[in-house]
Amino acid sequence: GKDLTFVFDRVFGEGATQEEVFQHSTRGLLDSVLRGYNCSVFAYGATGAGKTYTMLGSEQSPGIMYLSVVELYKRLEARKGEKSCQVLVSYQEVYNEEIHDLLEPKGPLAIREDPEKGVVVQGLSLHQPSSAEQLLEMLARGNKNRTQHPTDANATSSRSHAIFQVCVEQQDVAGGLAAGLRVGKLSLVDLAGSERASVANTRGERLREGANINRSLLALINVINALADAKSKKSHVPYRDSKLTRLLKDSIGGSCRTVVIAAVSPSGLAHQDTYNTLKYASRAKEIKRAAGPSALSVPLKPKVLGSRCPRCRHAVRCQQLQAEVAELRAKLRGQQEAEERALVLPPALVCSPGGLPRSEAPVPRPCSSGLADGREGHGEQLEAGWPLGPQLGAEEEAPEEMPASSPGAAQQAGTLQLQPQHPSCLLQGLSCCQTETLLGALLSVVQKQSSVLRAANLL
């Protein structure tokens, strides 16, 4: 006998038209979808309360699914000059924890999560209705394939959750492949009714269906509770507890906009169901959209249509390739700079680890100081220093592994034998003639090496 008050954004009476309900519940979401957000509308409530009527309606009085797409087409038509658009629709049901395509029925479909593409139902058919009539026919056909059975509570009771999804991809007419690409998704969900087996008087298969329905509705409620609980912002949201919540993971919470339409019976006999429905609908109202720039900006969201829309896939690939090219360019620049630095190293470091000189003018400099320092005596040192020319040639074929003290090892460390420990040691005691011969030999070796380098395009 308590008076309870619940506050909602809008309350519709028994006489409200389909158009009115659409105007004040879903119409506003279309702006967000066109801006690239994922949005969802759920019809929630007890069995027989009017969820299917609200979402699907009848041919004479079509519901939110039909009215949304017609309105969407109108808006896209108005943007025709500036945007090129593509609309893809799908219609599926979750029945007894299995996903079925309602437009092209086949066996149960697998669901998987792709880091790039988001939630993907494998093999789900996608369609592009070209007119409102075609869309209406599609919805009627899909609904014929939907699992529904009479129960005591509703002669046409939906025994599955139906999900009608509309993906909208828009791109600037002028501009590159990925210019102004926006992808948004609208999920319109007609849930199966929450039911008490005693009221619906279900037995056998219907009872099993009812248990599955209640289980997935409970999973949905748990997800809503986790999202609504501000304290559990960082805690776990149990999306994986049912097929329904896994399927809608990218459309509830985060930066998505969600509308819950709570359907209740005006009969006092249904007060318990009405109370439960209003309680959960109020809970859903507590979900706050993720704040911050990520929720406000409209990033490219390939995950929404990435797997389905070729143009979207190409745009994403194009972005990846551009990033790859930029990375390779940076690497190339770094390499060129390193090579340029190597070319201007001091002449003493003219030999590359492989034994090839990297400059044409290295030899005379270390030796010139020797020449200036004196040329007499030290004949043995000439013997020691003379094999320089042949040594250079030999270095080219030197085995890779050498004792650290060997001349080859010195070269591998980037130094050349020519670099004297004491400036004058190599040429000390040489006669003028010997020095000239030595320099001539060195010059010819250097010329030979540099022509090899030129041929190899390294100079």
Ligand X SMILES: Nc1ncnc2c1ncn2[C@@H]1O[C@H](COP(=O)(O)OP(=O)(O)OP(=O)(O)O)[C@@H](O)[C@H]1O
Q: State the binding site.
A: 45-52
Residue 79 tokens read as 């943007």
Residue 242 tokens read as 């049912």
By CB under 6 A, residue 48 contacts ligand X: yes
CB of 36 to ligand X, least distance (A): 31
CA 151 vs. chain centroid, Å, equals: 44
Residue 36 binding partner per list ligand X, Mg ion, none, with a CB distance cut-off of 5 to 8 Å that depends on partner kind? none
CB closer to ligand X out of 93 and 250: 93
CB of 281 to ligand X, least distance (A): 14
By CB under 6 A, residue 42 contacts ligand X: no
CB of 158 to ligand X, least distance (A): 3
By CB under 6 A, residue 277 contacts ligand X: no
- DSSP 8-state secondary structure symbol assigned to residue 192: P
CB of 53 to ligand X, least distance (A): 3
- DSSP 8-state secondary structure symbol assigned to residue 167: E
CB closer to Mg ion out of 158 and 391: 158
Short-list 251, 247, 258, 311, CA closest to 113: 247
By CB under 6 A, residue 63 contacts ligand X: no
Residues 214-233 that bind ligand X (CB under 6 A): none
CB closer to ligand X out of 48 and 389: 48
Distance CA(350)–CA(359), nearest Å, equals 6
Distance CA(388)–CA(418), nearest Å, equals 8
Short-list 187, 148, 143, CA closest to 42: 187
Residue 191 Cα distances to 44, 187, 195, 260, 449, angstroms: 6, 12, 12, 11, 81
Confirm if 185 and 41 have CB atoms less than 8 A apart. Answer: no
By CB under 5 A, residue 450 contacts Mg ion: no
- DSSP 8-state secondary structure symbol assigned to residue 86: E
Distance CA(368)–CA(383), nearest Å, equals 18
Q: Contact with ligand X (CB under 6 A): which of 37, 41, 51, 408? A: 51
By CB under 6 A, residue 263 contacts ligand X: yes
By CB under 6 A, residue 156 contacts ligand X: yes
DSSP code per residue over 95-124: ETTEEEESSS--SPBPEEEETTTEEEETT-
Q: Alpha-carbon Rg of the chain, whole angstroms?
A: 39
CB neighbourhood size of 139 (10 A): 26
Q: Contact with ligand X (CB under 6 A): which of 38, 86, 157, 242? A: 157
Short-list 253, 250, 252, 275, CA closest to 262: 275
Stretch that binds ligand X, among 49-57, 136-144, 364-372, 429-437 (CB under 6 A): 49-57
CB closer to ligand X out of 134 and 267: 267
Give the up-direction half-sphere exposure of residue 337: CA atoms within 13 A in the CB hemisphere.
6
By CB under 6 A, residue 362 contacts ligand X: no
The distance between the two most distant Cα atoms of the chain, rounded to a whole number of Å, is 125
CB of 262 to ligand X, least distance (A): 11
By CB under 6 A, residue 118 contacts ligand X: no
Stretch that binds Mg ion, among 45-53, 113-121, 171-179, 266-274 (CB under 5 A): 45-53
> From the annotation, which residues make up the binding site for ATP?
45-52
CB of 286 to ligand X, least distance (A): 24
CB closer to ligand X out of 53 and 95: 53
CB of 257 to ligand X, least distance (A): 23
By CB under 6 A, residue 158 contacts ligand X: yes
Q: Contact with ligand X (CB under 6 A): which of 38, 47, 274, 391? A: 47
Q: Contact with ligand X (CB under 6 A): which of 129, 193, 389, 408? A: 193
CB of 222 to ligand X, least distance (A): 20
Residue 99 binding partner per list ligand X, Mg ion, none, with a CB distance cut-off of 5 to 8 Å that depends on partner kind? none
Q: In the chain, count of helices (H) and strands (E)?
A: 17, 10
Residues 126-165 that bind Mg ion (CB under 5 A): 158
Short-list 166, 200, 206, 181, CA closest to 46: 200
Contacts of 298 (CB under 8 A, 6+ apart): 35, 36, 37, 182
CB of 261 to ligand X, least distance (A): 11
What ranges in 251-343 are assigned the alpha helix state H?
271-285, 293-296, 302-305, 310-343
* Interacting residues with Mg ion (CB under 5 A): 51-52, 158
Which residues contact ligand X (rule: CB under 6 A)?
45, 47-53, 154, 156-158, 192-193, 263
